[in-house]
Amino acid sequence: MTERAYFDWNATAPLRAEARVAALAVMALTGNASSVHAEGRAARQTIEQARAQVAALAGAEPRNVTFTSGATEANMLALTPALEAGGRKEPRDRLFVSAVEHPSVRCGGRFAADAVETLPVDANGIVDLAALQAALARAERPLVSVMLANNETGAIQPIAAIAGIVHAANGLLHVDAVQGAGRIDCDIGALGADLISLSSHKIGGPQGAGALVRRDGIHISEPLIRGGGQERNLRAGTENVAAIAGFGAAAETARLARQADAARMAALRDRFEAALKVQTPAAVIFAADVVRLPNTSLFAVPGLKAETAIISFDLNGIAVSSGAACSSGKVQISSVLTAMGVSADLARGAVRVSLGPDTTEADIDLLLSAWMRVVSSLLKSHANAA
């Protein structure tokens, strides 16, 4: 059997051992967290412990953490006109999202379509701050949503600077911190954000759990899911206690190991990119001119199609992804690269390599060896077809 190496951590991270232990321990128990008997209280204690662990990852107060089914739901919960700050019941009148956001943000959440505006980015995918300032002048109480780090390129946004501009315009800032958590600092206070979204399975927790984290003074007056008083009346429905427990354990492990993991992943990523450029000088590494996540590399080679390359990688024992894999599993041209001004021909060939804490030097060797086989085969096919 072909030896395999996993390089799709940005899509989903393998379950951490600590998260597996925590989730399985809960699965062995019985009890609804809303019940007052001993079994119910034990489930409630598990949730509150996880809430404290996730809060610590985000530098927030546990009372400001709302558990959801994932980051998509957290984004939808956050993107509503019914946001209150400092007790002022003044609905947000306009939503501004960057052109490189996740589809769950670009869809506009619970804002009317004509109340949503897209902010441009530069060639590295960084939000145009001058355009942001000009846009905010068109709203009285804006809400702005900009991700901490891009899931495709890894480019890190200047969130603190964006927060200053937003708050000066009487606005609120939501940050999708899904890709940054556990890899770079995502302290809500240091970022200057008002709300941040997190995902369990991106940091090695179980799938099916996420969280919306608020700073003090931010209130959501209209829940997304009604029908019960769970999560302080912000998210109705019986909690997924096992997934939440695993999320908490993953959050704690990621927080404690973040700096060491980031340094090691950055060294491995840089080694891969240096070898890639030597082996394939025509390769283009996107957002290479700005600070990126330590684990992410998005690249393309003129003449290669991502869909074919990914299949070839898979046959060679390597799991990678395209710049934009849609929900159906097909490869499409990345809206992120389109927003960055990348030509359709080049964007069509974008391949993403994303590393994790368990990635090894041997894995990089396998990746580079597979790349040489993939690129030589596909470029030869391309030349013959031309």
Q: Which residue has the tokens 């501004």?
A: 96
Distance CA(308)–CA(349), nearest Å, equals: 9
Mean pLDDT, range 247-264, rounded to an integer: 98
**What CATH code would you report for 5-13+259-385?**
3.90.1150.10
Using alpha carbons, select from 180, 367, 164, 148 the residue that is nearest to residue 274: 367
Q: What percent of the chain has pLDDT over 90?
A: 90
Q: What's the mean pLDDT in 323-335? A: 65
Domain 17-252 has CATH 3.40.640.10: yes
Q: Which sequence spans correspond to the domains of the chain? A: 5-13+259-385, 17-252
pLDDT tens profile 272-306: 999 999 999 999 999 999 999 999 999 999 988 99
Tell me the DSSP string of 98-164.
Answer: ETTS-HHHHT-TTS-GGGEEEEPB-TTS-B-HHHHHHHHTT-SSEEEE--SB-TTT-BBP-HHHHHH
What does the alpha-carbon distance between residue 307 and residue 12 come to, in Å, rounded to a whole number? 19
- Position 33 pLDDT exceeds 60: yes
Measured CA to CA, the distance from residue 79 to residue 52 in angstroms comes to: 24
Global pTM value? 0.95
User: To which residue do tokens 């400001």 refer?
Assistant: 64
Q: Which residues of 133-169 are buried (b: 16+ CB within 10 A; e: fewer)?
A: eebbeebebbbbbbbbbbbbbbbbbebeebbebbeeb
For residue 248, the model assigns a pLDDT of 98
Position 78, amino acid: A
Average pLDDT, the chain: 94
The DSSP H or E segment spanning 18 is helix 17-27
Separation between Cα atoms, residue 352 and residue 224, nearest integer Å: 33
Active site positions, annotated: 326
Q: State the amino acid at position 92 in one-letter form.
A: R
Given strand 351-354, what is the order of strands in its sheet? 284-285, 296-300, 351-354, 321-322
Which class for 332: exposed (0-12), middle (13-18), buried (19 or more C-beta within 10 A)?
Answer: middle
Residue 381 is predicted with a pLDDT of 62
Q: What is the mean pLDDT of residues 62-70?
A: 98
How confident is the model at residue 373, as a pLDDT?
Answer: 92
> What is the pLDDT averaged over residues 66-72?
97
pLDDT for res 378: 76
Question: 5-13+259-385 and 17-252 share one CATH topology?
Answer: no
CB < 8 Å & 24+ apart, contacts of 257-266: 257/357, 258/182, 258/183, 258/184, 258/185, 261/182, 261/183, 261/357, 262/183, 262/184, 262/294, 262/295, 263/294, 264/357, 265/183, 265/294, 265/295, 265/355, 265/356, 265/357, 265/359, 266/294, 266/295
Query: What does the block give as tokens for 360?
Result: 């090894």
Beta-carbon count within 10 A of 286 CB: 29
pLDDT tens-digit series, residues 200-250: 999 999 999 999 999 999 999 999 999 989 999 999 999 999 999 999 999
Q: What is the pLDDT of residues 332-380, one digit of tens each?
A: 789 999 999 999 999 999 999 999 999 999 999 999 999 999 988 876 6
Length of the chain: 386
Instruction: In whole angstroms, give the CA distance from residue 13 to residue 357.
Output: 9
Mean pLDDT for the stretch of residues 80-92 = 91
The SS3 call for residue 200 is: coil
